[in-house]
Structure formats: C-alpha cells, structure tokens
Amino acid sequence: MLRRKLNVLYFILPSFVGAFFAYMACRIYDSPLLHGILSADVFFFMVLLLLPRGQFLLKMPFAVLICVLAVLTNTIDAYVTMGMYLFMIFVTAAIPRRRLFLLLVYEFFAILFVVADAENFFFYSVLLTLPDAWDLAKFFWWGPPLFVIVPSFIVSLELLFAHKILWGKNRVEISHKIGFILVASAVIASFGINKLHPQQPLMDYAMQKWFMQLCSPEIARHSTLLRDDIKAVYPVWEKDKPVVDDFSKPTVMILVESYGVKKSVDQAKALLSPFVYSNFRFLGLYPREASHTQGAEWEDFGTVRGKIRETPLPQKFREHHLQTWYVHGYDSEFYSRGENYAKFGFDKMLFKEDFEKIGLPGCRNGFVGICDSAMIMFIDSLITDKVPKFVYWTTLDAHPFYDWSGMFEKSYFCKIFSLPDVDCTYFTLQENTLRLIARLAAKHPEYRFIIRGDHRPMVSLEQTDFVQSFYFRWVPLIILN
C-alpha cells in the first residue's frame, strides 16, 4: 500500500516540478500570463512512458482524444499542438523500455517543455522572445545562471522523481485503459476547475501556449485594452502617427523610467498632474510596442530591437544640423549603450562614470546612479548655450525595487490615496522628477520637450498587486512647447 502511494507521488511530482518555477515567476512578477500548478505536457508524457512498448493500435484512443480536442478548438496552433502530441505518442511507443533510451527521450522532451514555458513567460509578460531576454539578462550576474542552471535544475529534479518508476527493478507499467482514464480525467478536471476558478488553472499547457504565440503573436496584446473611464479623460496617441514631425526644432526627449498608466483614473491624473499647467501640445496616453527600457529606447529611435531599418531619429536631427546627445545616469556598459548607441546618430554620449568625474551626486534607489535632479541641472546647463541640440535622456530614480527609505519627503498623494509604502515611494520618486522636468521645460520655451514612459513598474516583491494596478504597455505621453 505504501509503495503504491509512493508510486503515485513519483508520478505526480515531475508534473509539479515542470510547472512550479514558471508558476512562481508569474506570481512574483504579476504577469498577465495565467499559469497552472501542474504541467499537462509532463503529465501526459509520464503516462505515455509508463505504457507498454509498441501496441500502437491500443494507443489510438489517445490519438483520437488529441485530434478531437484540436478539431473542437479549430485553430492553427491547436493542430500544430496535435502534431506535437502525436509525435510524442509515436516516440514513446517506439523506444525500448531500457534506462538509456528512456533517459535520453525524457531529457529531450523535458528540456523542450522548459524552453516552451520560459518562452511563454517572457513573451506574455514583457513581449520578449528567449533570445531577446538573454540579450538583456546577460548584463546581470544572475543572467547566465537563470538560463543555464535553472533549466538544468528543473530537468534534473524531474528525473530524480521520474526515474523511480520509469526504469530499473521498480519500474511501474500501467495498462492502456488506466492510462487513457488518467489522461481523460485530467483533461476533464482541468476544464472544470478552470470554469470554477479561471484565475488559477490546475493544468498548464505550455506547448499549446508556445505554439499559440508562434502562430498568432498578436495574442499577447489582449491585456492592453484601456477601460472607457481612462479614455474619457485622456486622448490616446494614434499608434502609427510619428511623435516628431519637425527635425529642425531643438528638442529634449525624456524617457521616464517605470512611468506607467494607473488603472485608477484619479491616480493616473495624479501622475500626470505636474504637467497640467504647462504649455502642452499633447497630454495623454501612448501605446508602447516594447515593455522594457532598452526596447523603449530603440522604439523611440525608430528601430526594431536595435536593428536599424530606416534613418534613426537622432540621425534625422543631426541631418538638420543639431548636436545630438544621449545622457543617462547609469553605467555605459549596461545594455552596451556606450558601445552601440553612436550608431543611432549621437554625437556625444555621457554616462554615470562621466558625470561622476564632474562631481554630479549619486542616488541609491532601484539602481545606484546619478540623481535625476542632478541630471536635470546638467541638461539645463547643456541647452542654455546657443547651439541647437537634440538631447535624449533616460531617467533612473524610479527604477524598482521600491523600498521606503525615508530619505525624502513623501508625496502629498500618499496621504490622499492612503498609499502603502511601495506605491508611496513610487509616487514620490516620479513626482519629484516630473515636477523638475516641467520647470525645465517652462524655463526653455525654445526647446520642444517630449516626455513618455518606458513601461509599467516591472516587479515588486513587497506588494504583488502593485504591478497589476498599471495598464500593460501603456505609458503617458506629454509634448511641451
């Protein structure tokens, strides 16, 4: 009896391990992607491996079930998923039930499932493919471990439990009838629980999601819809309309870190309030294609994932005889900005190491870098002379994480909205920077100022509903003077 219970445990645990890490990533990150607690792919795979070898005719009910589900769904990705599952049935039926063959096949499919799960997470959460995510993560010390150690650990942990019943003297073998009952029951139970608790699925179909985003990449945009209440208050910038229409006018373009649009209309108004009394041409909402900082910069430069397909924005200003500057209060090595951004048409680029040499003070918020207030003073001095310029500045102060430090006076909105520490810190940091920008623009009416966010705040371990209180891929856009 005890051994039978252990066999059930060893059968279920690989499915749990296969879903656990992606599930936790979605929960911590507050991803729009809903993730189940058991991997349907690993579950089905384990059933197939426990069936007797061969006997293809007895495995036909599994194929029929898969085909029926695909026909009922009737989408391209459903049929591609059907083909993948039929391939799994064929491979698992054909291989000998010996340790080496089972080990190799298990590792192959387990790694494939992990890759699919990771691709789903990055795509649905920040609209990145795995290569894009690697390009960003390699700048951090945890980048290589995340892409090497974590997948290896997941597959190893799955094997630790799976091998107990897959090979050796303790190998378990189930009949085709029992296997079909298990699969059908899992599908029915998953469907029923999803109907009762749609916010927490039981089974996660990573392969189907992966094929869905490969066949229909626009599906991730379902979560970008704005509610009517915010659209009634603020205009929305047309997606294909260029933000800059005159490249001869001196311009300061500012990318405000983590400057998102709150789902609460009153709080959205508060985050835009520093510009209400400014000389604005546009004050409203902007639809971002990118959802990370460098992607937003590339988007502003007029490129796609850093690949130049037309004349970049800074180059257009340079062609109209303006000096072009890129300034940022963080390290030049980060995102390889110092190495690569000259190709966009910037004459001069200054980073944290350059500003430290001239004595600009640093701040310790999410990232340790030059304070936004000091950067504004520098830009003020930069555009005071008579030489017309295009200046692009990416702010830094409001980068997460948001842990209240008591280093600054709280925003008035903290009391108005009864904000917890995470929200209060965010509002305070953003308001301090935005008010200084509004004053700078008022001081220099000869310069056009274009201010917009890069993305909603990325992550908060302190308060998991903080990220979800912002619209996904919508940011404020303000055009002054």
Look at 107-121, 178-192, 374-388, 461-475 and tell me which has the smallest mean pLDDT: 461-475
Please provide the average confidence, as pLDDT, over all residues in the chain.
Answer: 88
Q: CA 316: distance to chain centroid?
A: 31
Q: Given a cut of 50, is residue 222 above it in pLDDT?
A: no
Record the tokens describing residue 363, joined without a space: 């701040």
Query: Residue 170: its pLDDT value, please?
Result: 80
Give the length of the chain: 481
Token code pair at residue 86: 């039929």
Strand partners, 282: 479
Question: Residue 113: is its pLDDT beyond 90?
Answer: yes
Query: In Å, what is the CA distance from 133 to each residue of 144, 308, 414?
Result: 11, 20, 34
| pLDDT category of residue 220 using cuts at 50, 70 and 90 | very low
pLDDT tens for 273-324 read: 999 999 999 999 999 888 788 889 999 998 755 456 678 999 999 999 999 9
Mean pLDDT of 430-438: 95
Which of 386, 311, 375 is CA-nearest to residue 343? 311
Q: Reduced to 3 states, what is the DSSP secondary structure of residue 260?
A: coil
Least confident of 132-136, 151-155, 416-420: 132-136
CA distance 244 to 27: 38
| Rounded-to-integer distance, Cα 226 and Cα 472, Å | 9
What lies within 8 Å, CB to CB, of 295 at 6+ separation is 127, 128, 132, 289, 305, 454
Higher pLDDT, 443 or 386: 443
Percent of the chain with pLDDT over 90: 57
Q: Which two tokens stand for residue 317?
A: 């200003």
Q: What is the pLDDT of residue 461?
A: 46
Lowest mean pLDDT among 23-27, 30-34, 115-119, 424-428: 30-34
Q: Give the pLDDT mean for 342-355.
A: 94
Q: In the sheet that 348-350 helps form, which strands lie side by side, from edge to edge? A: 280-287, 474-480, 448-453, 251-256, 389-394, 323-328, 348-350
- Across the range 105-123, mean pLDDT stands at 93
State the pLDDT at residue 307.
Answer: 57
Type and span of the H or E element at 450: strand 448-453
Q: What is the pLDDT of residues 366-419, one digit of tens each?
A: 778 999 999 999 999 999 998 999 999 999 998 877 665 555 688 889 999 998
DSSP 3-state of 147: helix
330 pLDDT exceeds 60? yes
- Superfamily of segment(s) 228-480: Alkaline Phosphatase, subunit A (3.40.720.10)
Domain boundaries, the chain: 2-224, 228-480
pLDDT digit string (tens) for 11-64? 899 999 999 999 998 887 777 788 999 999 999 999 999 999 989 999 899 999
Burial of 410 (0-12, 13-18, 19+ CB in 10 A): middle
Place of tokens 């300034």: 327
Structure tokens at 109: 């499919």
Tell me, what's the pLDDT at 284? Answer: 96
Q: Could you tell me the sign of the dihedral formed by the alpha carbons of 44, 46, 52, 56, in that order? A: positive
Whole-angstrom Cα Rg for the chain: 27
User: For residue range 467-478, what is the model confidence (pLDDT) as tens digits?
Assistant: 778 888 899 999
* Whether pTM exceeds 0.75: no
Give the per-residue pLDDT at 336.
84
* CA neighbor of 356 nearest in space, from 335, 382, 378: 378
DSSP string of 367-430?
Answer: SEEE-HHHHHHHHHHHTTSSS-EEEEEE--TTPSP----SSSPPPHHHHHTT--HHHHHHHHHH
Interval 452-473 mean pLDDT: 76
Instruction: Grade residue 217 by pLDDT with cuts at 50, 70 and 90.
Output: low
CA 19 to each of CA 89, 161, 206, 307: distance values in angstroms, whole numbers, following the listed order: 21, 14, 9, 34
Highest mean pLDDT among 34-43, 116-125, 455-464: 34-43
Angstrom distances, CA of residue 352 to CA of 86, 116, 201: 55, 38, 45
Average pLDDT over residues 81-105: 93
